[in-house]
Structure 1
Amino acid sequence: MHASDDTNRYQEVLVNPMYLAGTGGTADAGFAPVAHWPHHHLDEGPCQLLVTSPDHRIRIGWFGDDFELWKITATEEAVAAPRWTAIFNHVAPPEIVADLTTALARDYAESDAYDDNARFLAEPSYRWADAAQPLTDAGWTRDGGAERGTVEIVAPDGQAGILIDNRLSGWDDETVTLWAGPPGWGSRSEAVFTARTPSHLIAATAVVMAKPAPVVRERHQIDRQVEHLVTLTPVAPDVSVPSAAEPSVFRAPTPLDVRRTAVTQAIHRAARPSHAAADLRVMAAQSRSAGAVRSRSGGLAPAAAVRLPANSSAPRHGR
């Protein structure tokens, strides 16, 4: 991260490509698609916020102090063992998590109560290409150096990919990994899926990685190992004023303008503590922070700051 004396450390910037933007310190984007589902705040446990489908068959957990930041599972029954699990590490952008939670909310809305044929419980496709379809459609290509029995599809810049393990494995084995960034504890984003994860859910998660749209972050949230791999464009309001001789012309906002505004507002909301019942931010992370984090005013730490444990083990899928 940036040194504390960096005068621009809190400047908002558009980060491109998005998959190298890091977590941003807030989980709002990942929970937004399921904001209407029951929320369970578990401040005393490692899982600080658990969001479940109304029948508890889908569970979305946020572990604010762990290397494995998100754990998402689906089961046939509320008390059954997970049929599949998706795990996102502490560097994974929440915008990528949001693509999976969006697909889960849609699948759940289209299913009947306790429907054994619910799409979020579907068997994965026998074709590995189905999970990677959004990436190959966007021009990502196969890496010929992948290990025997595996397939790896890599982004044009070589800084992201999907690794699919086609070797015989158990149902609980992790067989698909979406990754981005150079190897390293603070620079490599990973999303790992177990063998029975429906292919369409993996593909839905990959969709946003294939999109060129940037996301908003503060400069200090960009790891130094990826600074030279991203384009940072300062987010600044349009302060131009028409002259007296020129009538003011209304310009309709573009989709990018709308996206910038929405994400910027979400970051600002996350920086202001709130105890409202509908608040999706996880306040517990603030009390567990390792040391005080200096805010713009030099006072309180950001309410949704994510603590990264200093003695965590290295990523299991480090490349």
Structure 2
Amino acid sequence: MLTPEDDTYWREYHVTPRYLAGSLGTGDDPSLRPFVDLDWPRHHLDDDLGRTVFVSPDGRLRIGFFGDDYLLWNIAAYEDPFGPRRWAATFNQNTPPEIVAAFTTALARDYEEGNNRFLARPPVRWGEQTQPLTEAGWTRDWGAEIGTVEIIAPDKQAGVLLDIRCQDPEDEQCLPWSGPPGWGTRAEATFTTRTPGHLIAATAMADPAPLVRYERSIPRGLRDLVQLTPVEPPPPAKPTPLDVRRTAVAQAVERAFRSSPTNPRAVAARARTTSPLAASDARPTALADRQVPSAASSRSSGRRL
């Protein structure tokens, strides 16, 4: 069993496909960052459980994060802050926060642009909503229930179910999912009938870019379904010609000092290459002449080297 004292405990991996990466397993959640950056009013419902609600300045967007619930994120939009919801979206606790962050980032951008695009009508044709998926190789499952359309990922471990029979604004029409069934493995989201299609597409379920995780943070039920590639540290910076020259000079001076530690020039040169204060002295050689050690001390120094 790995412990925090083991190097492999802290090893990071690129995880593909991203929709099976699971939770981050840390408190550094990017999904709420857009609203923190915009300094939207923030309400703590229960500090012990981490429940938080962000509200846009005009009250037309509300983003809830419920740290004690199956549905961690609950997002709603309103044409009138005192009227009924225009649309709502939820994401459960197994959804990678980066996928939620893609949605919330697009939502915050729509709001800031001031064109009410976050209230846009959804596409009339269901194919427009699923186009990014089909272009990435996802295909339709012709065995889906009549009145529904399901688009499945190539590995059969993710999909989007569309219920084209839905008419009521509160109906959950679009249901993305990923992972095997189970409380700890199945990621699920819901979007009601009037959720703008471009916001659903922003979740980028089919994005091939990997996500970074510690291996231990990936649920056991998903580890055999993902590809893990160690995150390699960046290569060291390539030394400049000046760096190479300085290193060579320092090595030459050190060799000269070791061969003749009582030589004033060697002592002075070593002081210039190892001490910033000595390097700035205007008369290093004269200073070294005054500090030449006695024969006895030099022999003693030679034994310590």
Residue 42 (structure 2) aligns with: 40
Structure 1: which 4+ aligned runs deviate by more than 3 Å? Answer: 3-10, 238-245
Alignment of 1:255-266 (within 5 A): none
Residue 214 (structure 2) aligns with: 218
Residue 105 (structure 1) aligns with: 108
Cα RMSD (Å): 2.5
Alignment of 1:2-21 (within 5 A): 7=6, 8-21=8-21
Contact persistence 2:23–2:218 (CA under 8 A)? no
Percent identity (aligned): 50
* CA–CA distance in structure 2, aligned partners of residues 60 and 176 of structure 1: 19
Find out whether 1:24 has 2:20 as its counterpart. Answer: no
- Tell me the alpha carbon deviations over residues 228-260 of structure 1, each in whole angstroms, 9 at most, x when there is no partner: 111112223145586999x88xxxxxxxxxxxx
* CA–CA distance in structure 2, aligned partners of residues 216 and 204 of structure 1: 20
Paired AA for residue 19 in structure 2: Y
Paired AA for residue 56 in structure 1: G
More helix by share: 2
Q: What is the TM-score when the length of structure 1 is the normalising length?
A: 0.68
* CA–CA distance in structure 1, aligned partners of residues 42 and 208 of structure 2: 34
- Tell me the alpha carbon deviations over residues 125-176 of structure 1, each in whole angstroms, 9 at most, x when there is no partner: 2211121121111111111111111001111111111110011442111110
Residue 151 (structure 2) aligns with: 153
* CA–CA distance in structure 1, aligned partners of residues 226 and 41 of structure 2: 35
* CA–CA distance in structure 1, aligned partners of residues 44 and 209 of structure 2: 34
Paired AA for residue 234 in structure 1: P
Paired AA for residue 163 in structure 1: L
* CA–CA distance in structure 2, aligned partners of residues 10 and 66 of structure 1: 28
The correspondence for 2:123, drawn from 125, 129, 132, is 125
Larger deviation: 71-80 or 231-240? 231-240
Q: What is the TM-score when the length of structure 2 is the normalising length?
A: 0.71
Secondary structure of the 1:83 match is strand
The correspondence for 1:51, drawn from 50, 54, 63, is 54
Contact persistence 1:12–1:217 (CA under 8 A)? yes
- Tell me the alpha carbon deviations over residues 161-220 of structure 1, each in whole angstroms, 9 at most, x when there is no partner: 111001144211111011111111111111111111112211222x2x211111111222
Residue 79 (structure 1) aligns with: 82
* CA–CA distance in structure 2, aligned partners of residues 57 and 107 of structure 1: 12
The correspondence for 1:66, drawn from 69, 80, 84, is 69
* CA–CA distance in structure 2, aligned partners of residues 137 and 187 of structure 1: 26
Paired AA for residue 225 in structure 2: L
Secondary structure of the 1:158 match is coil
* CA–CA distance in structure 2, aligned partners of residues 238 and 83 of structure 1: 47
* CA–CA distance in structure 1, aligned partners of residues 234 and 141 of structure 2: 43
Secondary structure of the 2:46 match is coil
Runs of 5+ in structure 1 lacking a partner?
113-117, 249-319
Contact persistence 1:130–1:200 (CA under 8 A)? no
User: How big is the shift at 1:43?
Assistant: 4.6
Query: Larger C-alpha radius of gyration, 1 or 2?
Result: 2
- Tell me the alpha carbon deviations over residues 254-309 of structure 1, each in whole angstroms, 9 at most, x when there is no partner: xxxxxxxxxxxxxxxxxxxxxxxxxxxxxxxxxxxxxxxxxxxxxxxxxxxxxxxx
* CA–CA distance in structure 2, aligned partners of residues 228 and 195 of structure 1: 35
* CA–CA distance in structure 1, aligned partners of residues 127 and 30 of structure 2: 28
Sort the Cα spacing of 1:172 and 1:224 in 2 relative to 1 into closer, same or farther, 3 A. same
* CA–CA distance in structure 1, aligned partners of residues 114 and 240 of structure 2: 59
Residue 257 (structure 1) aligns with: none
Contact persistence 1:12–1:235 (CA under 8 A)? yes
Runs of 5+ in structure 2 lacking a partner?
245-305
Sort the Cα spacing of 1:244 and 1:96 in 2 relative to 1 into closer, same or farther, 3 A. closer
Paired AA for residue 198 in structure 1: P
* CA–CA distance in structure 2, aligned partners of residues 74 and 136 of structure 1: 28
Residue 284 (structure 1) aligns with: none
* CA–CA distance in structure 2, aligned partners of residues 204 and 189 of structure 1: 17
Q: How many residues align?
A: 239
Alignment of 1:158-197 (within 5 A): 158-197=156-195
Alignment of 1:186-265 (within 5 A): 186-205=184-203, 207=204, 209-238=205-234
